[in-house]
Amino acid sequence: MLELDQLSAFYGPAQALFGVSLRVAAGELVVLQGLNGAGKSTLLKAIMGLEVRTEGAIRYQLPSGAVAIERWEIHRRAQAGLGYVAEDRRLFTELTVRENLHVAAGRDAKAHEARALDLFPVLKTLLSRPAAQMSGGQQQMLAIARTLMTGPKILLLDEPCEGIAPVLVESIRDALLALRREGLALLVVEQNRLLASRADRLLWLVAGKVRDS
Ligand code: ATP
């Protein structure tokens, strides 16, 4: 589904990733771990085309065949099926749950919304609530649900379980496992064992390089 080949990333002159190669297949959950500053967030941003300059190849599987997307703009990557949730979630906190979902609506919005609400039933009971008035875990569910409104084929999630009550972590984990069963590819930066223990593969990032665990 997604393949990185010798991917390096730079913030101006500062290099943050050094020749990272990895693959994530459809129906696979890959969890990325590493110390603070190892480059985990940078890796997701580089795949999405955000903030960093990259060198190396990012290949993505379209129904029509594999394409090199490393020069594509972020919108084109999103349209092609890459879904990203940043660590800070980037919700519109003054808008309600329903409004946050509809901001992201594109083709097949109704079906995507129904699916997202089935995965996160608690959101159904909060549709009229401003995001600012929800717990961190509920906001994280909304951020993932909003990304699902675009019908992604691969999800790139930055610490979806961090700072969240264990019972909500379990809900998020179960939703991600359901998406995996449906064939989505998942690349998730996460230290939480409730999720990491269910990974198909764990990857360790050390100073901008992948080390096998
Ligand atoms: P954390 O767990 O703290 O989020 P991380 O593994 O996600 O860590 P990154 O945030 O990807 O690490 O940072 C990797 C390196 O890139 C660090 O040395 C960091 O200082 C640097 N870096 C991150 N963002 C920027 C930026 N906007 N400008 C310059 N350097 C940055």
DSSP letter for each residue of 123-154:
HHTTTTSBGGGS-HHHHHHHHHHHHHTT--SE
Tell me which residue has its CA closest to atom 26 in ligand 1. Answer: 11
Distance of CA 37 from the midpoint of ligand 1 (Å)? 5
The pLDDT score that the predictor gives to residue 213 is 54
Q: pLDDT tens, 83-117?
A: 999 988 888 889 999 999 998 777 888 999 999 99
Per the CB < 8 A criterion, the answer to whether 9 and 54 are in contact is yes
Phi, psi of 68 (to 5 degrees): -90, 120
Distance of CA 160 from the midpoint of ligand 1 (Å)? 17
Question: How many domains would you assign to the chain?
Answer: 1
The pLDDT score that the predictor gives to residue 29 is 98
Tell me which residue has its CA closest to atom 29 in ligand 1. Answer: 11
Phi, psi of 98 (to 5 degrees): -60, -45
Task: Please tell me the pTM assigned to this model.
Answer: 0.94
Residue 25's domain comprises 2-212
Distance of CA 100 from the midpoint of ligand 1 (Å)? 28
Residue 40 Cβ < 6 Å to ligand 1: yes
The pLDDT score that the predictor gives to residue 105 is 78
Low-confidence ranges of the chain (pLDDT < 70): 212-213
Residue 36 Cβ < 6 Å to ligand 1: yes
Residue 153, domain CATH: 3.40.50.300
The pLDDT score that the predictor gives to residue 212 is 63
Residue 92 Cβ < 6 Å to ligand 1: no
Residue 34 Cβ < 6 Å to ligand 1: yes
Nearest by Cα to 178 from 192, 161, 198 = 198
The pLDDT score that the predictor gives to residue 107 is 81
